[in-house]
A and B are shown apart, each in its own frame.
Chain A
Amino acid sequence: MIEEDRILSSDVVNSVKEWSSQPVGDSQYSETVDVYNRSIRMKFIFIAACLLVILVVVSYAVTVGAVNIGFFEVYQIIIDHLTGNITSDYDHIVFNMRLPRVVAGIIAGAGLAICGVIMQSVLKNPLADPYTTGVSSGASFGATMAMTLGLAAFAGDGSVVILAFVFSLVPTVIIAMMSKFANASPTTVVMAGIGVMYLFNALTTVMMLWANSSDLNRIFYWQTGSLALIDGWESLPVMFGVVLVGLIISMILSGKLNVLATGDDSAKALGINADRMRIFTLVLTGVVSAAIVSYTGLIGFVGLVTPHIVRMFIGADNRYLIPASAIFGAALMIIADVIGRVVIYPSALPVGVVMSFIGGPFFLWMILRRNSNAW
């Protein structure tokens, strides 16, 4: 049939027939598959390497403090504790004083990193993170309100967390509602996020004008963000639960996120309701980042930059980028926290500050070295 067409040249007919028939028999095919499989193995190796780093850093992080505890002793104490065979005098220090902070760092780093990956991917914007989508500004307003109105003194630190959480969800709700009337294109969402951010920042500033100096100190400390705000295991279950659920859902959606990344039209043509998907993932990341910053204060940088660094190593495929960023973000967070605690000991730098000091120049160097516009 195809041979009967007078217009077609034999070259094209043969190429199309070869394409249409099942097996491919050339050696370049197996070579291509090999190279492709190797690239996937590299991604797994990267993830494994990050896990290894975490394992080492966790232990080191626990050794840092007034009481000297050895590097390997830490593992021994943890294993003993988990097996119910507590022998060390340091068990209380390791388990109740130092470990919660490190675990919080892992959860927060992982959670903020996946939020960054997803926000950047669905908004097609390398600058998207919990700041540009307004989440942080909402949290900041809530926390400031709790501290200046004296709720924190009256109802305990829990009120800071609760108000921060409630208000951090407001920008996401506004964006989701706006998209019902306008559209949910990446530009609309980013602009709406920035608009809400300015509004909340203004409100926060007004509240700070009324605040007394000791409140201002607390507010400032909260706004820089610190893992020192975590005291004990009590703060962790909620954060852990939300981040875990967020990670699982985003892993399930990762294939769809790849499709969405090719553009709204082609995503719709491949059967994905682009607008609905974008709003759903923004609500998801809004909740996850809200749950984190409510406890830790505004830790910047990790959500913005982790995805970029990891993308440079393993590419933009969300199926690998999401888990790899989670692990890399966790490692980055505890490393930065340890450095902050060691570098001007016995005083300490907040983790966000350290991360920006190390990460900023490193990030610039990576961009320069890359020397192309392809992420």
Chain B
Amino acid sequence: MTEIMIKDVDFGYSEDHIVLHNINLEINEPGLYCIIGPNGVGKSTMVKCVSKIVTPLKGQVLLDGEDVAQMKHKEVAKKVGFVPAFSQDAFSMSVINTILIGRYNHQKWGSREKDLEMVYKTMKLLHIENLGMRNYNALSAGQHQKVSIARGLVQEPAVLILDEPTANLDVKYQVYVMEMLRAIAIERQMVIMTICHDLNITSKYAHKVIMLARPGKIHAVGTPEEVLTEENIRDVYGINCRVFTDDETNKPYIILGSAIMGMAEDY
């Protein structure tokens, strides 16, 4: 597995517009890491720093001790896979070809058979094996999402980051995808980071929860039981809630109450 260390990271689009403040985070064991927090708090930006899509103003991101800033995009890509929140290609290819793009860094002469096999198995895992020859742009939002997830999985990176992988999925597949990601993290002993909005799904499937609060800082990191407390949820999201423990899973179970309007951080 690959260790991730984020040290004193500030990120902003200019000195006056800082999005992330002094982020420190260490990930040194495999599992499913869910990143939660309100809109515009810098969740996507934080994971984009890890995959070198954006570069921090200050601080370092280390992968196995190596500074991402010193690594080439290609070297980062071998360790970290990234599935963006939304992708619509202007001119799209078939689903198989779209997923095959994820094998870009694996492709060598004569590897085509193996790549196709990996693509097929992953389509089957996501139950889209019948869409293989369909045009990507002709698919529904949920199908897009599954194709994007498949494209991330076929990369077989040590660290896989997914930006809101369940955003367009129906309830069944929200649960299935998160459960699948947890299973893959265990089976492959890899780090999977996802950005999530559903607290109960996060609670049930995350090994660790990373909670971000305004204005772009880490509020809490830990197991779901440690992070998903009534107090944290009220402070970070500005919403009243009651948290119970589910008898079956022993995980926190959250019932949302009323939104607290007029907090200083509302905008």
**What is the CB-to-nearest-CB distance from B167 to chain A, in angstroms, rounded to a whole number?**
15
Q: Decide if B104 touches A255 in the complex (CB within 8 Å).
A: yes
CA gap between A52 and B190 in the complex, in Å: 52
A15-23, A165-173, A296-304, A350-358: which one contacts chain B? A15-23
**What is the CB-to-nearest-CB distance from B135 to chain A, in angstroms, rounded to a whole number?**
4
Q: Decide if A19 touches B117 in the complex (CB within 8 Å).
A: no
**What is the CB-to-nearest-CB distance from B13 to chain A, in angstroms, rounded to a whole number?**
11
B242-259 vs A: 1/0 string, CB under 8 Å?
A: 000000010100000000
Contacts of A375 in B (CB 8 A): 90-92, 137
Q: Decide if A259 touches B104 in the complex (CB within 8 Å).
A: yes
Contacts of A35 in B (CB 8 A): 132-133
Q: Is A373 an interface residue (CB 8 A)?
A: yes
Q: Decide if B183 touches A268 in the complex (CB within 8 Å).
A: no
Q: Decide if B91 touches A121 in the complex (CB within 8 Å).
A: yes
Q: Decide if A268 touches B122 in the complex (CB within 8 Å).
A: no
Contacts of A36 in B (CB 8 A): 96, 116, 132-133
**What is the CB-to-nearest-CB distance from B172 to chain A, in angstroms, rounded to a whole number?**
12
Q: Is A269 an interface residue (CB 8 A)?
A: yes
Contacts of A15 in B (CB 8 A): 125, 180, 183
**What is the CB-to-nearest-CB distance from B245 to chain A, in angstroms, rounded to a whole number?**
14
Q: Decide if A20 touches B74 in the complex (CB within 8 Å).
A: no
State the majority secondary structure of interface residues on B.
helix
**What is the CB-to-nearest-CB distance from B83 to chain A, in angstroms, rounded to a whole number?**
7
Q: Is A223 an interface residue (CB 8 A)?
A: no
Q: Decide if B92 touches A316 in the complex (CB within 8 Å).
A: yes
Quick one: given A269-B53, A271-B73, A317-B97, are A262 and B249 in contact (CB under 8 Å)?
Answer: no
Quick one: given A19-B121, A19-B122, A374-B135, are A269 and B51 in contact (CB under 8 Å)?
Answer: yes
- Closest A residue to B138 by CB, please name it: A374
Give the A-B pair count, Cβ closer than 8 A.
158
Q: Is A124 an interface residue (CB 8 A)?
A: yes
- Give the contact-size bracket for chain A: 35 or more
B70-100 vs A: 1/0 string, CB under 8 Å?
A: 0011111110111110010111111011100
Q: Is A24 an interface residue (CB 8 A)?
A: yes
**What is the CB-to-nearest-CB distance from A46 to chain B, in angstroms, rounded to a whole number?**
15
A336-375 vs B: 1/0 string, CB under 8 Å?
A: 0000000000000000000000000000000000001111
Contacts of B184 in A (CB 8 A): 16, 19-20
Contacts of A261 in B (CB 8 A): 89-91
Q: Is B182 an interface residue (CB 8 A)?
A: yes
Q: Is A205 an interface residue (CB 8 A)?
A: no
Q: Decide if A263 touches B51 in the complex (CB within 8 Å).
A: no
* Most A C-beta atoms less than 10 A away, residue of B94, B105, B107: B94
Chain A residues with CB under 8 Å of chain B are: 1-2, 5-9, 12-13, 15-20, 24, 28-29, 32-33, 35-36, 39, 120-121, 124-126, 255, 258-259, 261-263, 265-266, 268-273, 311, 315-317, 372-375
